Every structure is written in structure tokens, then in C-alpha cells.
Amino acid sequence: MFESPIEDKSMANQIHVISPYWLESAMTWVFDDEAVDLVQEPFVSGVPEMIDELVANVPEAREGFRLVFSAAPFPGYQRKLTRLREEYGGWWYLSDEPEAEGWLCPALFRYFDEPPQEIYVKAESK
């Protein structure tokens, strides 16, 4: 009998997409994701600076852009983040280029069961 691939855990999404935007009142990048019950989830502790660099060539990024990310490399990824250390339930990651550190809060676990050793990212226009 045929089994639905939806029931197969190995078929879970490997590539995730969120749409960060600049929230002036918070003075940082945030994102909403109804699928995992997050609203105006802020990026903090080094990650806003990483995003600024990543979107330098994305027109009108502050109004919103697509951030594609995965624990595995994918065609066209721009940066590799490498896991460093745990702190306050989140994880510090090191960007490969330019070298920078940023902390990803426990919202990381809405997308991954375990903190990935590496996260590959790409920013693009909506």
C-alpha cells in the first residue's frame, strides 16, 4: 500500500523562508511567522548587523525581504553560520564572511529540533 510522503518525517522541510523587516519602534530587524506562532520576533545580539551586511544589495530590504535558510547547503546560499556555544537557551553562531558573531534565540527551535552545526542563508527581494 502507498504511504503518504507527508507522514514521512524525512520529508519535512529542509529549507525555510521567513520575511524579516525593519521595525523602527524596536530599532531592529523582526519577522512574523504564523506557522510557528511568532509575531515581531526580534533579531538581537549581533544578528542585526549580520543582516545589514547580508541585505546591502537588496533593494528596499527594510520594507521586507525573503530570508532563506537551511541546515544544509543549497544553491546560491550567501553565508554559512557555524554554531559556537549555547547561552540563555539560544546559540551563538559565527558568520563566515565577513567574520561576525550573532546570537539566535530559542525561536531557533521552532525550525530545528536541535541547533544545527551550520546554517546556510540567503537574502533576496520579495
Is the pLDDT at 96 greater than 70? The verdict is yes
State the pLDDT at residue 73. 97
CB burial of 60-85 (b: ≥16 within 10 Å; e: otherwise) equals ebeebbebbbbbeeeeebbbebebee
Taking a C-beta distance cutoff of 8 angstroms, is the pair 124, 58 a contact?
yes
Region 15-27: mean pLDDT is: 97
Q: List CB contacts of 6: < 8 A, sequence separation 6 or more.
A: none
- Tell me how far apart the alpha carbons of residues 45 and 125 are, in angstroms, rounded to a whole number: 24
Q: How many domains does the chain have?
A: 1
Quote the DSSP letter at residue 51: H
Total Cβ atoms within 10 A of residue 96:
13
Position 13 confidence tier, pLDDT thresholds 50, 70, 90: confident
Percentage of the chain beyond pLDDT 90 is 89
pTM: 0.88
Place of cell 523587516: 21
**β-sheet bridge partners, residue 42:** 30
Determine the structural domain holding residue 14 and report its residue range. Answer: 5-124
